[in-house]
Structure 1
Amino acid sequence: MNDRVMRALERIDYRQALSHEDRERVFNLRYRAYLREGAIAANEDERFTDPVDDQPNCLIFGVYADDELAGAIRLSITVPGMPQIPTAQVFPDTVLPQIEAGRVLVDPTRFVADARWSRELPELAYLTLRLPWLAMEQFEADVMLAAVRPEHYPFYRRLWGNTVVSPPRLYPGLAKPVMLSQLDFPRAVSRIETLYPFFRAREDERAAIFGPGPLTWLPAAAANRAQPIRT
């Protein structure tokens, strides 16, 4: 599997969706993916977005395969002064105490893939999940959250060793409940990167994707530097 993912990685660009056009492409991809799974109802706009997409500590990424939008993911990060993350609204009893204790959390949500590309590039899920993994290292985070449907949890348990911290609850805007698992990143990083070396950042890759410092990726600062990143 490692060889397959490493070969597939050569076809991938990670692009932060900052322009109106790129964001709309991601919102439409989300819509099609969630509609296909019966998680949302159809709408005339054929887009799926919420107020989290406009928060300053939110990064929206498109994952491009052979220059086509194949997947997307949203990352919310509890940087100082901006503790708001979407999963804290659904699981406040579990998430808020960690934020109040000063732990840095990465909250990946809206993880979607194009149906055709999922078939053509089975490694797409691993390639997309490199983004929250790289964000954990970039922002020196302590915990990676995973608010996912119960049938998806075994994937995270097998891949990273996530542990369940809350049973399923309804998530705003979704028809199907999600459960919460999380990963203690500092304890897991050495083991996971030994098992799956494709999660390791390539030279200068994190800085190219997120910027050289912890705040330079904010939309106001990043608008003039967003470029496709060939990994």
Structure 2
Amino acid sequence: MTEGATTWRLPSWPQTAMDVRAALQPWRQRFSFDRARSLAGWRTSQALLGRRYTQRGLRIVPQATPEPDLATLQARDGRRLVGTLSVRVDGPNGLAADGVFPDEVAALRTQGWRLCEFTRLAVEGEQPSKAVLASLFHLAYLYAHRIKSADLVIMEVHPRHAPFYRRMLGAEVVASGRDNPTVQAPSVLMRVELAHIQEQVRRLGGRPELADTERSLFPLGYAPSEEPMLIERLRAEI
């Protein structure tokens, strides 16, 4: 998984919280976030993944049909797909991370964690947009924790991206020094408790005025008051 990037940036924040929220509102109206619900939506996400991974020198084989245990979230600018992130909850078929980090994932299961993984992240463009990423990760958290009752998320990431996930989500490295044959690149395994994400959302979510001082994704995510509506929408799309 690699952190995405996009060509849009939020404006420089005004000084007051009211002005900051007013500045964010047009961005919220411009972009939409939902779950892929059709074969066409799935294939569009796969095309974005293939293009972005190739641009970063990574190998990925697009899949022609949706995986039944994979929930794929999408960010759109009008009708144009600009970002995607998928969530897989642990089950009989296991997780993708079992292929590279089998002992570490098994140990987490033995400890009693209900696992999920965030995977297949790709966002258009070359300049990072924390706001697009914040919305995608917030929806992924809601799906995994509030709907599917997972309590620990794991992620396979390139070593050079590990500091990003540490800063932006509070993730920590579980294991490193492995080659991931799926993308033909080195990989580290990271983890973050979903209770930690829940607490950060309660403390910082929907407070973009803190984005310049709080170096994480959470201020640019949704406010706690918005979560019931988002959960209802995600449930309707399962």
TM-score, normalised via structure 2 length: 0.73
Distance in structure 1 (CA, Å) of the matches to 2:25 and 2:184: 35
Q: Show the counterpart of 1:158.
A: 167
Instruction: Quote how far apart the aligned CAs of 1:57 are.
Output: 1.7
Q: Which amino acid aligns with 1:206?
A: I
- CA-CA distance at 1:168 after TM superposition: 3.4
The residue that corresponds to 1:210 in the other structure is 235
Query: Which runs of no fewer than 5 residues in structure 2 stay unpaired?
Result: 1-12, 14-19, 207-220
How far 1:101 moved relative to its partner? Answer: 4.7
Shift of 1:23: 1.5
Cross-structure match for 1:56 = 68
Specify whether residues 204 and 155 from structure 1 end up closer, same or farther in structure 2 by C-alpha distance, changes over 3 A only: same
SS state at 2:183 partner: coil
Structure 2 counterpart of 1:59, which letter?
Answer: A
Q: Deviations over 1:138-191 (max 9, x none)?
A: 222210112111111111111221111001322232122121111122244213
Mapped pair 1:20 → 2:39:
yes
The answer on 1:142 being equivalent to 2:155 is: no
- 5+ residue gaps, structure 1, are 42-47, 218-231
Q: Is the 8 A contact 1:161 1:183 kept in 2?
A: yes
The equivalent of 1:123 in structure 2 is: 131
TM-score (norm 1): 0.75
Is the 8 Å Cα contact of residues 106 and 132 (structure 1) preserved in structure 2? no
Name the CA shift for 1:7/1:97 in 2 (closer, same or farther; >3 Å): farther
CA distance in 2, matches of 1:10, 1:202: 17
Alignment counterpart, residue 83 of structure 2, candidates 52, 71, 74: 71
User: Aligned-pair distance for 1:19?
Assistant: 2.1
Between stretches 66-75 and 188-197, larger displacement belongs to 188-197
What CA distance in whole angstroms lies between the structure 1 residues aligned with 2:29 and 2:227? 12
Question: Aligned letter for 1:64?
Answer: R
In structure 1, how many angstroms separate the alpha carbons of the residues matched to 2:193 and 2:160? 22
Larger deviation: 130-139 or 27-36?
130-139
Secondary structure (helix, strand or coil) at the match of 1:203 reads helix
CA contact (8 A) 1:74 1:109 kept: yes
CA distance in 2, matches of 1:146, 1:5: 29
Assess if the C-alpha contact under 8 Å between 2:117 and 2:153 holds in 1: yes
What corresponds to 1:183 in structure 2?
A: 192
- Aligned-residue Cα RMSD (Å) equals 2.8
SS in 2 for 1:202: helix
Change (3 A) 1:58 1:30: same
Q: Is the deviation greater in 10-19 or in 137-146? A: 10-19
* One of 100, 112, 133 as aligned partner of 2:141: 133
Cα distance in 1 for residues equivalent to 2:72 and 2:191? 21
For residues 188 and 202 of structure 1, the distance between their equivalents in structure 2, rounded to whole angstroms, comes to 13
* Alignment partner, residue 96 of structure 1: 106
Distance 1:16 1:195, change over 3 A: closer
Q: Is the 8 A contact 2:141 2:197 kept in 1?
A: no
Partner of 1:105 in structure 2? 115
SS at match of 1:123: helix
Tell me, in whole angstroms, the C-alpha distance in 1 between the residues paired with 2:50 and 2:117: 20
- Tell me, in whole angstroms, the C-alpha distance in 1 between the residues paired with 2:132 and 2:202: 18
Shift of 1:122: 5.3
